[in-house]
Amino acid sequence: MTSAAVRRSERRISPVFLAVLAVMAVTGWAVWTDFAALPGVAVFLFVTSAWIVSLCLHEYAHARTALFGGDVTVGAKGYLSLNPFAYTHAVLSVVLPVLFVIMGGIGLPGGAVFIEQGRIKGRWKHSLISAAGPLANVLFAVVCTAPFWLGALDGVPAAFRYALAFLAFLQVTAALLNLLPVPGLDGYGIVEPWLSYGLKRRIEPYAPYGFFVVIALLFVPAVNGAFFDAVDALMRALGVAGEARSCGSALYRFWEGTPEYCPL
């Protein structure tokens, strides 16, 4: 096999990702056409599969930017295949975020792919690699909210509007959390190349715990309130009413029943 053929094989889209994409398309169609006999189940499958797709795109964005930055090893590690099982921290990258969506209804940032930092030359490249993942979530949020601020949802079944609003909410929360300049998150990865060597050495021992500290802080009422006030303000700016997001979250948890204030 030639080196060119090897590179092509490394960039071939994974059948696992294509399967998840197919589930998203089929269940999205079922919600869109109001075809599903159990709209809550269809919304659950649609949002969950779309969320996994966004997680894959987040990690792919890191890897693709790293490839252009000089780390040619990302292909051999499977990062360019969009396979959710190929990432260094599969549990943090996919399993835990999905569980948090199911249990708490929040877009939890996943673990980053492993980049060989020594191959990347230049502080700007390091920062761009870290920023690429959250930017993928931002773009996903723009796509999800575009029908709202373009006024293109007239006649669309309510279940699809709710699902799209909830999916946009997950992308916004994931982007905001990931952009926090906390060790272990992408926000810190953006600013870290610009810090002094001594400061980086002092922060380094705490990096493995930053992610968990952020999650713990979200259980503090004042921090939780401020964070979700910011999320709600962004969602309103993007044309998504809070009621649509709340109904999407409620419909997603189909096992709890759909509230009366969410007409279908």
Catalogue the active-site residues: 59
Q: How many beta carbons lie within 10 A of that of residue 155, not counting itself?
A: 5
Distances (CA, A) of 161 to 31, 133, 157: 9, 26, 7
User: C-alpha dihedral over 160, 108, 10, 50, to 10 degrees?
Assistant: -10
SS3 state at 75: coil
In sequence order, the 6+-apart residues with CB closer than 8 A to the CB of 67 are: 74, 75, 80
Alpha-carbon distance of 14 to 25, in angstroms, equals 17
Q: How many beta carbons lie within 10 A of that of residue 107, not counting itself?
A: 29
Nearest alpha carbon to residue 129 among 73, 64, 51, 214: 64
Q: Give yes or no for a contact between 262 and 250, defined as CB atoms under 8 angstroms apart.
A: yes
Alpha-carbon distance of 15 to 28, in angstroms, equals 19
Alpha-carbon distance of 145 to 212, in angstroms, equals 29
